[in-house]
Structure 1
């Protein structure tokens, strides 16, 4: 599809928006027409980098741009709800970077606004659309490893000691949960198709009050479990493994990896390799555009109710740790 390209705008001109834009400009279906930042000059610099026609230093002016059909929100976590709500009220479709919001109550407010305005809304959980993870999901649906009984998933990195950085600032939603832990938590939801019935967890709250790392055991009906680890001051082996009654699937470096490996008893390992050249953000953008073209108000791959339920699960974890973003 090269005619009637979907017109995109980006709110926030930081690192994650830069990664998204660097992929989006290679889509035959997309036209990136505007970018906005409240930091003077930042939108202009971003626009120059990606050949975007209209930079805005005001979100209000950006939202008055009638050509914009869908907005990618790449602002600070604490600004997601406000930005998405304003977009929805302006009739703009929204692809909102994870974490969708700061908590489940904010997520519910956004979802209600989208449904009241009949406007498309989707959480930008980009990993769900990566070819290796899609292949793993296909193997599961084909019964290649039998019934899934257990999974492990880890994502952690060491940001270093910088107490004034966003990642360690509790008021900005810093810590492992919203930046790193959300990936294995969402992955468990994707694989099991439900939230856990029981949650056991432990977190280390550092000097700035954020969860520097945590471990969680999710329990599901019939003895199924997920074991998840995450951190922002701890380098982890960022792999995921799905265990079934007839084998297992291994996803090395599952957020960024390009391979999936199917292990079945008595058979040679089946290897899937993704030869993509781009980072992978293009796939979530293509899903959002497909939904828009088909007149859908949400994605079946990342449904709004599931986004809300995942936020509830994260609320439960933070409550266990006594962590509030204040």
Structure 2
């Protein structure tokens, strides 16, 4: 497979995980840039990265870079996506890939026009456990998927300047954690949900602190989702099928599933490693570029963004960039 040069924008938690994942697999980031240059230099020194750019523009003007990983806040994504794509760079962007469907459509249109890949860094699409579970379901022993139940709750202190609650940083449960739940639901549903209901509780800044979502598609598969940024819940997924149910804990980077069949048989499956979550993304992105097969689930990314956008519209909740 061709060797691809990666550049990363940002030096936060995800960027560190990306650099470490590459290091653990004998690969290095080619370059890094950050709003604060000193942080980029420290990051480069830590991970032995040869190229540090004074600005994002300098990075995208480097002809040697093939792929840029964007790790900045949600509301900055579309600006960087458009600039990178227009300079001929493939883009892997942290979730939520954009604020809304209009932004995503813009990015996808540019990528299509220029023959590039624009994808969301959604760990679930690449974790081996889900690829294995989809195979198991296809083998028909479990039967059809009927219902998916998803919880994701984190307890965050009520610091309204924190990005989780900050409207100016596109805070709220939907874009930060809901994207994981809706993406997993979509992955195990035969088609995009066409019926969506929801309820929301706001925090004082006007972003969604807590939400409940109900989805159903034409095949009448259903998903129920509970989200919270101020109430701890397990990150638990349950996929209920005709002949049994699957449970996955810590599902955004799941590696173990327990299947309980209706006859009482219990099967445990371990596949992949949580520590390699970012590496699986890198592998699938590079294989997509090399072979042309879409291992990045871009159509599902579009479906999920449409659902999130429609739900927020039904709430009447917007961000400053949308007003």
Which TM-score bucket, shorter chain as reference?
over 0.9
Instruction: Give the conservation status (yes or no) of the 8 Å contact 2:259–2:266.
Output: yes
Distance (Å, rounded) in 2 between the aligned partners of 1:219 and 1:291:
30
Q: Is 1:316 aligned to 2:296, yes or no? A: no
Q: Measured at CA, do residues 63 and 275 of structure 1 come closer, stay the same or move farther in structure 2, by a change above 3 Å? A: closer
Q: Secondary structure at the match of 1:32?
A: coil
Residue 5 of structure 1: aligned partner = 3
CA deviations on 1:181-234 (whole Å, 9 max, x unpaired) are 000111111110322121111111011111011011112224321001112222
Look up the SS of the partner of 1:160 in the other structure: coil
1:55 counterpart (33, 40, 52) = 52
Count of residue correspondences: 320
Q: Corresponding residue for 1:140?
A: 137
Contact 1:122 1:299 in 2 (8 A): no
Say whether residues 1:299 and 2:294 are aligned partners: yes
Aligned counterpart, 1:325: 319
Does the aligned pair in 2 maintain the 1:176–1:211 contact within 8 Å? yes
Question: SS state of the match for residue 261, structure 1?
Answer: strand
Partners of 2:51 and 2:69 lie apart in 1 by 15
The answer to whether 1:108 aligns with 2:105 is: yes
Structure 1 SS opposite 2:160: coil
C-alpha deviation, 1:300, in angstroms = 4.1
Contact 1:41 1:57 in 2 (8 A): no
List runs of 5+ in structure 1 lacking aligned partners: none
Equivalence for 1:42: 39
Q: Secondary structure at the match of 1:9?
A: strand
Using the TM superposition, give the Cα deviation of residue 279 of structure 1 relative to its aligned residue in structure 2, in angstroms: 4.3
Q: Secondary structure at the match of 1:226?
A: strand
Instruction: Report the secondary structure of 2:99's partner residue.
Output: coil
Deviations 1:243-291 (A, max 9, x none): 1111111112212332111221225211112363724111011000111
Residue 261 of structure 1 is aligned with which of 258, 262, 286?
A: 258
Report the counterpart of residue 287 of structure 1 in structure 2. 284
Question: How far, CA to CA, are the matches of 1:290 and 1:259 in structure 2?
Answer: 25
Question: Is the CA contact (8 Å cut-off) linking 1:5 and 1:31 kept in structure 2?
Answer: no
Q: State the distance in 2 between where 1:234 and 1:86 align.
A: 38
CA separation in 2, counterparts of 1:56 and 1:301? 28
Q: Which of 69, 73, 81 pairs up with 1:84?
A: 81
Calculate the TM-score normalised by the size of structure 1: 0.93
Q: With structure 2 as the length reference, what TM-score do the two structures score?
A: 0.94
Q: Distance in 2 between matches of 1:5 and 1:35?
A: 18
SS at match of 1:237: strand
CA RMSD of aligned residues (A): 1.6
- Aligned counterpart for 1:274 among listed residues 271, 276, 284: 271
Q: Secondary structure, in 3 states, of the residue corresponding to 1:255?
A: helix
Q: 1:11, 1:72 within 8 Å by CA — same for their partners in 2?
A: yes
**Cα offset, 1:85, TM superposition:** 1.1
Which SS does the other structure have where 1:234 is aligned? strand
Q: Secondary structure of 1:308's partner?
A: helix
Tell me by how many angstroms 1:5 deviates: 2.4
